[in-house]
Amino acid sequence: MNTRTQLFFSQFRAYESIKARLRREKFRLRSKLFTMRYGLAEAKTDYKSFQGLLSLTQTPFFLALIFGTFLQFTDLYLVDLYRKFGIKIPADGDYATFLATIAGIGGVFIGLYYAAISTVSSTIYSSVPSNLKDLLTQERYGNVYMRFLSFLTFLCVVLLLFRLSGQPRAYLAVVFIAVCSGIGIFSFVTLGKRAFDLFDPTQLSPHVIRDLNRWLAHVKVGAFRWNDPLFQGHAQKQASKSIDTLRILATTAKKEAHLSGESYVKLSKQIVFFLYKYEISKRNIPTSSNWYEQTLEFKDWYRTEDSAVSLAHQSGTTLQPETAHNHQWIEEQLIPIVLDCITVNYNENRFKEVLSILGHIESYIQLLAQSNEIDRAFDFAGKLATHITENLQGIPGTTPTHAEQIELLAILDTISRIPITIAIGHREALQKTLLREHQKSISSIEWKSEKDIYSHNFPLYCLDQLEWLRGKLEFEFRSEDRYISPSWYLQEILRLSESRRFTENVKSLVNRGVEFYERNITDLRSKNRHWSLSAFLSREREYWSKLDFQKNDWNDSWKSLIENNRIEGLAWPVIDLEELGQRGKTRETNSLKAMVDESVRLALLPRPKDFPDYPGQFLHIAGECTFLSMIENDHQLFSEIFDHYLAGCLLKFDAMRAEISGTDWRAQQQIKIASAPILDLMDISGYAKLFSDIHDQEIFWDRVVDSWSKYISGNPTTPILEILAAALGITESAFELSHRSILRTQWQQMVQYKLSEIPTHEVDYGGMISATHTSVDHESTLVRVYADGRHYSPYDGIDAFIEFFVRAQGNGSDLDFGRRRSRDLREALEREKGRYQEDNQE
């Protein structure tokens, strides 16, 4: 019927009545079709359950069947033997007795099973809500068995009725009844054992999860009436009931002490696994589907268009709210169950159970990051960390054992690692996005089909834009009988969505990362949880390292998203990657300062061998950053961390030296290793003098001299300078490379590279044979001596420290630092002074 005819008939009431009646009949027919399809699905599920029942009993079943078959075939060869011994075929009475016996056994089994269920129900389920009791009655294996047993029992009654009616004996029926009775007997034994599992209500959770998955399948694209709002709403209501049942199961497990451990954890793992699969399934569900819970969003009077405001004011009404779909309605109800399970087991010191849940959660959060849901991933991570850190001071009972402390540290390390998982997942998502951007053209979508846009694995935030585009293209096709919008235009609109999500994600990676680590580290510091705090500090450094590695990818991705824009006027997002990088650097610097501070605190605490060496890691990082701060002329950072680095190196040396026992070659080797932090400290201290001259800022050297002087004066009974000389002498007296010498050589190479940036000029000595000399253009004699080699200098920071600090002390000039330090830097400085004066005179 064309539009004109439809408008003509629409003027008559009878036409509208007929249309309404047809719609009702059409809906009734669809409801019946749905009921039939649902019934077939239920039958299929029941058959699978029956198959599962057979799998439990197949061994005794086939043994009995094989033996019965053997007897049946053997019977053919034993007829003569029967006659010889007078064996007769069973009489009618025996036949009836056999069937009656089987029927009686079936009735007894039914009664026994329901007696067991009644016992379980009255013991465990008497005080639970009705829907949990209904879940018990809907236990699938038991229901299937009861139907099977009822069928077998009634079949025996029917066969008896046939025989009483004069029908001949059905020998095949006897065999069939015997086989079925065997299945029933062996199944009853298995189900009897299963009845004991029903004392744990969480054992029923797989049935609830199965129902959730079934209703979820009904709203996926391609399912029966998947685009019908009524069917979508029905699926949402049924799924909501299943979620309510899961919440009740969780509450029951929480209250029962014997269930709050392994059973509660198992339920939580099932929930997380369902959420994992559900996140993937969302890509096959329309964003406007009534499967998503509907909420009302009320408009702001001063943000609403004038026409709507005027109409509402003149009619004396309020602004009509808009209907929105909550795409996280399932997560909002299920995630609190998982978090509560973690809290309960954590407070009971069941740390292994907590760790097992965290492994599943980390996989789910990684999937969120790979789906470009960075904010949601950080929300989950933040709630998870809060549930753990807020209870650190409130663990009841006795102090955790050493093993539990290790597990507790592993829990906090896992939580602190989650942002790293998010960063890695985002990088993978970014690579997939670029792959889709360049290799998957939007022109491949079949816009006529309602289903096709959901078959290309687009993420949820792109589906909303694609659905909007499809509506526009459908209008074009109806108006013009063809699509007008070119493919590049559609690609541009989709790229706009990608760019918005990219900016949101990058900002979240920096801002939410700063917030996550800053909040938890501050909380742990206030509770004096130094080892837990160290786990977060260690992982935070790794997190910013991962983000630094991704910065080039961010720049490339951003350029590919915004370059060659063809449509003017689109609201392209704006992002300042340099500003975000600077904020990350600021937080990284603050984290470094906290590491240096914690390295001293942890050095004073005993560290079990099975604890990570956070003090050593932080001390090493402090040394590297102290050295880099001199190269980059960051005197503020140097001043803030050098005192802690000096204290940390000396404490590390004392701790390692205290562990040495014996006097053999092994002890000597351990002494050389223990001297490594002292050599690192002397090396950096000497380079402070060199870089003070390079940057023409004495603040580096002044800080070193001041810190060393305070330490020496504060320990008048300790021969510090003699210890330095002995540590250097015993380390460099051996023929092998000293411990950490490669790391110090890397520092020396970096110094040489920095010195190579200083300008030079050639000085000609004249004479018959022309001779030239490369002179370094710097006023500092020390800089010229170190830069004279250009590619390699025979002097390092230790030489400068000995010459300018140790020799300046009272007995420093008399100390022996070993044969490798016999070269006198002072003589090289005097020679350079003379040569520099000659070069300037010429």
Nearest-angstrom CA–CA distance, 646 and 288: 62
pLDDT tens column, 533-577: 899 999 999 999 999 988 888 888 888 888 777 777 778 888 888
pLDDT tens-digit map of 369-382: 999 999 999 999 99
CA distance 689 to 108: 96
The fraction of the chain above a pLDDT of 90, given in percent, is: 20
User: DSSP characters for 96-155?
Assistant: HHHHHHHHHHHHHHHHHHHHHHHHHHHHHSTTS-HHHHHHHHT-HHHHHHHHHHHHHHHH
> Band of the pLDDT at 702, cuts 50, 70, 90?
very high
What mean pLDDT do residues 269-290 have?
92
Q: What is the DSSP letter of 773?
A: E
CB contact at 8 A, 272 and 449 = no
**CB count, 10 Å around CB of 172?**
8
Structure tokens at 165: 């009616």
pLDDT, mean of residues 110-121: 65
d(CA 254, CA 345): 10
Question: Which of 52-61, 312-321, 565-574, 589-598 has the highest mean predicted lDDT (pLDDT)?
Answer: 589-598
334: confidence class by pLDDT, cuts 50, 70, 90:
very high
Give the DSSP per-residue string, 769-814. S--EEEEE--S-HHHHHHHTTSS--S--HHHHHIIIIITTSTTGGG
Q: In whole angstroms, what is the distance from residue 525 CA to residue 536 CA?
A: 11
What single DSSP character describes residue 776?
A: E
Rounded to the nearest 5 percent, the helix, strand and coil shares of the chain are 75, 0, 25
DSSP 8-state code for residue 168? P
- Residue 696 CA to residue 702 CA, distance in Å, equals 12
SS3 sequence of 362-397: HHHHHHHHHCCCHHHHHHHHHHHHHHHHCCCCCCCC
The residue among 388, 408, 273 whose CA lies nearest residue 342 is: 388
- Give the least confident one: 143-157, 159-173, 807-821: 159-173
Q: What is the mean pLDDT of the chain?
A: 79
List the beta bridge partners of residue 296.
323
Q: Is the pLDDT of residue 124 over 70?
A: no
Encode pLDDT of 633-655 as tens digits.
998 999 999 999 999 998 888 88
* pLDDT of 723 over the 70 cut: yes
**Is residue 709 within 8 Å of 820, Cβ to Cβ?**
no
Interatomic CA distance for residues 591 and 517, integer angstroms: 9
- The structure tokens listed for 82 are 């029967």
Phi, psi (deg, nearest 5) at residue 698: -75, 0
The DSSP 8-state label assigned to residue 805 in this structure reads: I
SS3 track for 299-348? CCCCCCCHHHHHHHHHHCCCCCCEEEEECCHHHHHHHHHHHHHHHHHHHC
Please state, in angstroms and rounded to a whole number, the distance separating the CA atoms of residues 269 and 777.
69
Interval 83-97: pLDDT, tens? 555 545 556 666 677
Q: Which of 356, 333, 334, 336 is nearest to 345 (CA)?
A: 356
Cα 141 to Cα 199: distance, rounded to the nearest angstrom:
16
Cβ atoms of residues 764 and 736 within 8 Å: no
* Predicted pLDDT at 776: 79
Q: Which residue has the higher pLDDT, 406 or 330?
A: 330
Pairing of strands 772-776, 760-764: antiparallel
Beta bridge partners of 322: 297
Contacts of 224 (CB under 8 A, 6+ apart): 33, 34, 37, 218, 231
Q: Which residues neighbour 594 within 8 Å (Cβ) at sequence distance 6 or greater?
A: 521, 525, 533, 537
Residue 91, token pair as written in the block: 């009489």
Q: Which of 701, 736, 755 is CA-nearest to residue 820?
A: 736
* Contact criterion met (CB below 8 Å) for 319 and 376: no
DSSP assigned state of 610: T
Confidence of residue 63 (pLDDT cuts 50, 70, 90): very low
pLDDT band at 360 (very low <50, low <70, confident <90, very high): very high
**Average pLDDT of 13-30?**
80
Secondary element (H or E) of residue 222: none
Contact 151, 46 (CB under 8 A): no
Of residues 453 and 11, the one with the higher pLDDT is 453
Q: What is the pTM of this model?
A: 0.77
Retrieve residue 315's tokens.
Answer: 């009619």
Looking at the chain, the whole-number percentage of residues with pLDDT higher than 70 is 77
Position 210 confidence tier, pLDDT thresholds 50, 70, 90: confident
Q: Can you tell me whether residue 611 is helix, strand or coil?
A: coil
Torsion of CA 566, 448, 497, 464, to 10 degrees: 150
Of residues 364 and 16, more confidence is placed in 364
Distance CA 352, CA 360 (A): 13
Q: Which of 124, 253, 105 is closest to 186 using CA atoms? A: 105
Average of pLDDT values for 97-120? 71
Q: Worst-scoring range by mean pLDDT, 4-13, 167-176, 770-779?
A: 167-176
**Euclidean distance between CA atoms 271 and 505, whole angstroms:** 26
pLDDT class of 409 with cuts at 50, 70, 90:
confident
- Residue 581, token pair as written in the block: 């990088």
Going from N- to C-terminal start, the domains of the chain cover: 33-199, 613-841
Can you list the positions of beta strands (E) in 478-589? none
For residue range 535-547, what is the model confidence (pLDDT) as tens digits?
999 999 999 999 9
The dihedral through the CA atoms of 715, 721, 723, 727 has a sign that is: positive
Instruction: Assess contact for 777 and 762: CB atoms under 8 A.
Output: no
Token pair recorded at residue 13: 């009431």
Neighbours of 35 (CB within 10 A): 10
